[in-house]
Structure 1
Amino acid sequence: MIDYARDDDGVVTLTMDDPTQSANTMNAAYVTAMTAAVDRLYAERDQVTGVIVTSAKKTFFAGGDLPTMARATADDAPALFELLSTIKRDFRRLETYGRPVVAAINGAALGGGLEVALACHYRIALDTPGTRLGFPEVTLGLLPGAGGVTRTVRMLGLTPALTTWLLTGRRLRPSDAVTNGLLDAVASTPAELVALAREWIVANPEATQPWDRPGYRMPGGTPASRSTAAQLPAFPATLRQQLKGAALPAPEKILATAVEGAQVDFETAQIIETRNLITLLTGRIAKNMIGALFFDLRAVNGGLARPNVEVTEPARRVAVLGAGMMGAGIAQACARAGFDVVVKDVTPELAARAAGPGITTTADVTDLAGCDVVIEAVFEDPAVKRDVFAEVLPVVAPDALLASNTSTLPITGLAEGTDRPADFLGMHFFSPVARMPLLELVAGARTSDATVARAFDLGRRLGKTPIVVNDGRGFFTSRVIGKFLDEAIGMLTEGVPAPSIEHAALQAGYPTGPLALADEVSLTLVQRIRVQFEAADSGFVRLPAHALVDAMVDDHDRPGRGAGRGFYAYGEGKRSGLWEGLAAMSTTAGRAVPLDDLKDRFLFAEALDARRCLAEGVLRTAEDGNVGSILGIGYPAWTGGVLRFADQHADFDGRARELADRYGARFEPA
């Protein structure tokens, strides 16, 4: 696991290289190997002038052993404490070795990898496109528990450590990591990386960590200092504001670990950090988040739902039909991924809206000749979509992949407008395309496996996470998020105050309140989608929420944020507060609804429909549902995804029946 090599100058290079994995992790093999390496360093100290810690992998160190972490229970707490104590003991022995120790970071150093580097006296990173440094633990419901919190706070001070590194989950490029204090230098080549490390060792034979030097003072002061003490009350208030009231244990534990650890000596701070990490590791929320954002995400990106079909001719030239916001975003994503992109609209002026590096814009269909991918992103009208495909099909490559960026219209019906339904599928991008990582691939009744495989590979080349679902109105994401919006708007008709609705969703962990989200989507679009659903389904059940949306759009002319008026009022493009007329929109006398009921109505409405999607075959895999719900429609990450929430709930069906008794049969579990 760790190769130990001492040269003629007495410099020992510890090269981490796990033979069983493509990346180094903090597994049992690492722990044993690091202990042995440090033992040998101490045994040979008289012959050692310095130490370089590096990696033989493409990355430096990938972090903790998540498969082991995910299995941890309360019964494992003593063993976990011993394991973490061993890791920290070896780090402490390394940084107090009495010889300069340099981390030569040749790739990504995230989580545990950054903690390895922090136990060294000096850190140099190779400036490659994939090199990132950071603590992503908070995004998995954990905290950096191998000294990450303790050392970062002592190196930078409480405020920078928390706001830049520990609470954000940010992954910084080397230059940004230097600016923000955890990296000392950047190398442009592997040879320079080693040379800089050796130069620093020669120049700093008596290197120590800042906190081990006489007279050390924590940057910004400890909580006992007057300036920091004055700021302390704002820390939890700011965190609560950032979390929008959601009760998430990992950020809270990180804050507690940092502040409490800053008030005690280094070793005691390490113990506080260990205990708080074990509390998170053995809890339910971390398991949910690791399950979705590590295991499920890895499975989805690895092609769990991708048909086992070899694609011999990868896509090269992409035609995007429509230069609106979505079309322009898709074109830019394709251009950034290295595709030759042509954007067509009805006039040169409209097409020019999508202009950018690597993008040709046109109103002439003949400019699409040879395109082997067509992505349509025009108005959500089946007739319009069929017309644009009919125009371009005679021009593009005869075997071109044909995709519609519709969010709700059934793909099977759209494909009937072409003579190549086997090559046709839905590619539902999410707005804004540049930021949203999800891509929903929708297979119609006649879409071939080869087409799905080609689209999946295209999505991965775009840097997206592609989930694969089967056809059905609204597919998976739009259908399920519709339940979220219907439930919120239905609460308005019941007389639940609008601020209570928004706050309940935020406290449940949703990133945006549902009324604000409806304004962003536009109430006009919400209305149009519902009308389409209603026209296609003879058994469609009208809800009070539907009548309220009709009243907002048709009677009160409040179609959403784009028009500057919806559930919210707007000034200069920004929300200025909830519309004062909402209170009069209730159709029944207001009643007090417990906060827990409000939160669960959101969570259960979506989870129940996701279960139906899986049972009906709209969802092909539960993993797609979990990942799609978090990355695509903002289902709270602490749940581990919409289907995991149902599976891990102590009494999901019982609670659903309770909600059904109080609020309606839509909550009856199948």
Structure 2
Amino acid sequence: MQTITITTDADGIAILTIDVPDQSMNVIGPDFIADLDAAITRIASDEAIKGAVIASGKDSGFMAGMDLKYFGAMLATSDGSRPQPSAIFNEVFVLNQLFRRLETCGKPIACAIEGTCVGGGFELALACHRRIVGDSPKTQLGLPEILIGLFPGGGGSQRLPRLMGVQAALMYMLQGKLFRPAEAAMLKAVDQVVPQGTALETAREWVKANPSAATQPWDAKGFKFPGGAGAFNPAFVQTMVGALPMTLKQTQRNMNAPVALLSAVYEGAILPFDRAIRVESKYFAKVAADPQAGNMIRSLFVNKQAAERGARRPKAEPKAPTMKLAMLGAGMMGAGIATVAAQAGMDVILFDRDIAYAQKGKAHVESVLSKRLGKGMTPEKLATTLARVTPTASYADLAGADFVIEAVFEDVAIKAEVTKQVEAVLGPDVIFGSNTSTLPITKLAGAWSKPENFIGVHFFSPVEKMPLVEIILGKQSGPAAIAKALDFVAQIKKTPIVVNDSRGFYTSRCFGTYVQEGAELVAEGINPALVENAGKQLGMPVGPLAVSDEVSIELGYKVMTAAKKELGDAYIAQRSDDVMTLMVDLDRLGRKNGKGWYDYPDTAKKALWPGIADHFPRADDQPDVDAVKERLLYRQLVECARCFEEGVLETPEDGDIGAIFGWGFAPYTGGPFSHMDTVGIAHVVAVLDRLRATHGDRFAATEQLRAMAATGGTFYRPAPSRAAA
């Protein structure tokens, strides 16, 4: 066997130790499936074996889910089309049958879980007769498949509701929420929590003491779901009746997997277990056959992990971890960066022009970390982390820093002055990173005497929560700077993308089009409520007007005026410019001053400002919601395509990751480039041509898109199946 080692002790208990070679974490692939199949046959047929314990041979944890490369191969065909659901069913039902064989082999099977146990790994645990977990604050268990466009397909959607009740199980599976050990035990998802490192021996003792405990609860005569189930059970019916509309509202009807999960749970709950797992695999195959799942897996898991592991890092550069960070600027952004850096174990010199501002920045660090007390943060850990942050107003205190991040006011002259002052202390050989959302890095690098050591490091607010960091290469940024920046991002456990210099770079530039198109629609007299609802139905986190308020209308205005000044006659004016100017003149700056597109009363929920109609009279003819969604979507798509054509983006992977994790672009699409491939480039160009004819050149398709449409080209290879939407 390649993935499982079997040893049998003097009591006749077989210990199955999983250790998938060449993997940092155990995953389910064809070799593991074959080995587990053989192991089950041996356990069932060997009279000397009285029972078994399944454990992991890796320090990283018990087991994750399916090897997604293996899963991707299931979805591939020789001609590039997607396989039929029936073919996928035959592949995925193998795992369901295997786990079913395990739990009906006639001998007690215990699972000894130390560390992470998620996805297919947790489904394997659920198929065991006893689940014993070593207690550790790092241990997580559960079924998070919904987060990558799938749902549990190895029996998890059937076993978990039978253990903890339908309502509770759905709450976890529909959110992809994970359990901590004590929580899992309380909800009956696991049987016992023991001190870390003792799960294997405890599991062995249980098997020895329970030689006849070889029947799962759902196979016992008279079994009933906790809380009840069945088409005539009032509580079950009420749960399912409420779950569907809540799910549709939460997903805006864009996601396939949650609805399929609800169907599998509902139908499975009123069927015998062996029929129930066939139903689960049927719905799983239907979801997997749609391009949505493949796109989400590629962007949200495979490409995201590749980026985090250094896919864009210069391979020849030695590792360059940051030990002491000079953080320039102690505002919300600088203090946020200081927080995540200190948490990662770095010493942070938090600089601002006035010591009071610097101390306020450290107070922000303490405030953020204090909210985590009891949630993995202890008073001792809090004190240690805070001790790493030193506020200062003296450049001299930056001495010894091996990386600099600047997050001062968005003004070229101010940034240049700070940059020069820092170089006078540290010298030009230290890597300097500028956190800016719009100012060209190449221009800012002119203030550092070695521009090859200058790079853009664009964070998103709030830094503590937002997962993306956009690394921007100036024209002279060198490999050492790229490596240093990417190593820093890895240290703080965030996801990087790497883009080339441009005004607004990639994320700010493309995100801005969503806000601008919302303003254009309002200026045309389109109902603001329609605009906002269309944005949310498209799959964006919030509508374009609401997000404009959140980031500040005034900020957008300042970016626009700076671009006008910088570009001169080359600047292309938009109607949205006039809208922003009017809003600023009216002192409606957004949430920060309590009035923007929305009013923010102290004692009530925010509401759209009634005065919008006074300044932008409502048009008599209102479009339908699909037309508004189309404009909001395609305005973003074409700008992403322009970034790719201009070389701001070098890979579609960076484009999709940056869009989803940077500005919340509809995750169910897999990102703008995945979406354009899926609906077909020719379809994208046709829609853009129609929108351009009606709404102007901002919708003009790029020459690259036209060439791809003519040749059947795609951003990714091989091309996914075409299904225009």
Q: So what's the TM-score if we normalise by structure 2? A: 0.88
Distance in 1 (alpha carbons) for counterparts of 2:698 and 2:249: 33
User: Which of 530, 541, 545 in structure 1 is aligned with 2:572?
Assistant: 541
Distance in 2 (alpha carbons) for counterparts of 1:226 and 1:259: 13
Contact 2:428-2:450 within 8 A present in 1 as well: no
Match of 1:122 in 2: 130
Distance in 2 (alpha carbons) for counterparts of 1:510 and 1:128: 36
Structure 2 counterpart of 1:66, which letter?
Answer: L
Instruction: Measure how far apart 1:166 and its partner are.
Output: 0.6
User: Which of 186, 203, 206 in structure 2 is aligned with 1:200?
Assistant: 206
Match of 1:242 in 2: 250
Closer, same or farther: CA 21–375 of 1 in aligned 2, 3 Å = closer
Q: 5+ unaligned residues in a row in structure 1: which ranges?
A: none
- Aligned to 2:276, the other structure's residue is in SS state helix
Distance in 1 (alpha carbons) for counterparts of 2:675 and 2:395: 48
Structure 1 counterpart of 2:442, which letter?
Answer: T
- Aligned to 1:64, the other structure's residue is in SS state coil
Distance in 2 (alpha carbons) for counterparts of 1:24 and 1:620: 33
Match of 1:30 in 2: 32
Distance in 2 (alpha carbons) for counterparts of 1:176 and 1:395: 51
Contact 1:305-1:621 within 8 A present in 2 as well: no
Contact 1:568-1:575 within 8 A present in 2 as well: no
Q: How does 1:167-206 map to 2 (within 5 A)?
A: 167-190=174-197, 192-206=198-212
Match of 1:349 in 2: 356
Structure 2 counterpart of 1:64, which letter?
Answer: M
Contact 2:445-2:455 within 8 A present in 1 as well: yes
Instruction: Measure how far apart 1:398 and its partner are.
Output: 5.1
Q: How does 1:387-402 map to 2 (within 5 A)?
A: 387-396=417-426, 399-402=429-432
Say whether 1:39 aligns with 2:41.
yes
Distance in 2 (alpha carbons) for counterparts of 1:432 and 1:361: 20
Distance in 1 (alpha carbons) for counterparts of 2:570 and 2:187: 58
User: Which of 687, 696, 701 in structure 2 is aligned with 1:655?
Assistant: 687
Contact 1:296-1:626 within 8 A present in 2 as well: no
Contact 1:101-1:121 within 8 A present in 2 as well: yes
Structure 1 counterpart of 2:343, which letter?
Answer: R
- Aligned to 2:404, the other structure's residue is in SS state strand
Say whether 1:520 aligns with 2:522.
no
| Superposition CA RMSD, Å | 2.0
Instruction: Measure how far apart 1:595 and its partner are.
Output: 2.1
Closer, same or farther: CA 62–574 of 1 in aligned 2, 3 Å = farther
Say whether 1:643 aligns with 2:651.
no
Q: Summarize deviations over 1:76-115 as a string: whole Å, max 9, x none.
A: 5334323333322221222123332111123322211110
Q: Summarize deviations over 1:213-255 as a string: whole Å, max 9, x none.
A: 3332211111421233234322112212322x24211111112
Distance in 2 (alpha carbons) for counterparts of 1:132 and 1:472: 41
Match of 1:494 in 2: 524
Match of 2:323 in 1: 316
- Aligned to 1:60, the other structure's residue is in SS state strand
- Aligned to 2:448, the other structure's residue is in SS state coil
Q: Summarize deviations over 1:630-659 as a string: whole Å, max 9, x none.
A: 111111111111222222223211122122
Q: Summarize deviations over 1:373-420 as a string: whole Å, max 9, x none.
A: 111111111122122222222223652221111111111111112323
Distance in 1 (alpha carbons) for counterparts of 2:168 and 2:496: 36
Match of 2:140 in 1: 132
Q: Summarize deviations over 1:452-480 as a string: whole Å, max 9, x none.
A: 11111111111011111111110100000
Q: So what's the TM-score if we normalise by structure 1? A: 0.95
Contact 1:492-1:585 within 8 A present in 2 as well: no
Q: Summarize deviations over 1:148-186 as a string: whole Å, max 9, x none.
A: 1000111111111011x2111223333343344322333
User: Which of 462, 486, 494 in structure 2 is aligned with 1:456?
Assistant: 486
Distance in 2 (alpha carbons) for counterparts of 1:242 and 1:63: 25
- Aligned to 2:360, the other structure's residue is in SS state helix
Closer, same or farther: CA 585–308 of 1 in aligned 2, 3 Å = farther
User: Which of 98, 105, 108 in structure 1 is aligned with 2:113?
Assistant: 105
Match of 2:157 in 1: 149
Instruction: Measure how far apart 1:298 and its partner are.
Output: 2.7
- Aligned to 2:131, the other structure's residue is in SS state strand
**Structure 1, 595-604 or 447-456: larger mean CA deviation:** 595-604
Identity %: 38
**Structure 1, 34-43 or 231-240: larger mean CA deviation:** 231-240
Match of 1:53 in 2: 54
- Aligned to 1:19, the other structure's residue is in SS state coil
Contact 1:494-1:590 within 8 A present in 2 as well: no
Distance in 2 (alpha carbons) for counterparts of 1:83 and 1:620: 36
Match of 2:439 in 1: 409
Say whether 1:226 aligns with 2:234.
yes
Contact 2:452-2:477 within 8 A present in 1 as well: yes
Contact 1:442-1:469 within 8 A present in 2 as well: yes
Contact 1:309-1:453 within 8 A present in 2 as well: no
Closer, same or farther: CA 312–115 of 1 in aligned 2, 3 Å = closer
Distance in 1 (alpha carbons) for counterparts of 2:524 and 2:620: 6
Contact 2:27-2:65 within 8 A present in 1 as well: yes
Distance in 1 (alpha carbons) for counterparts of 2:333 and 2:103: 52
Contact 1:63-1:110 within 8 A present in 2 as well: yes
Structure 2 counterpart of 1:461, which letter?
Answer: Q
Distance in 2 (alpha carbons) for counterparts of 1:498 and 1:315: 47
Say whether 1:330 aligns with 2:332.
no
Corresponding pairs, count: 665
Match of 2:505 in 1: 475
User: Which of 580, 599, 603 in structure 1 is aligned with 2:633?
Assistant: 603
Match of 1:628 in 2: 658
Closer, same or farther: CA 407–65 of 1 in aligned 2, 3 Å = same
Distance in 2 (alpha carbons) for counterparts of 1:613 and 1:81: 40
Match of 1:9 in 2: 11
Q: Summarize deviations over 1:591-644 as a string: whole Å, max 9, x none.
A: 322322221222211121111111111112221111111111111111111222
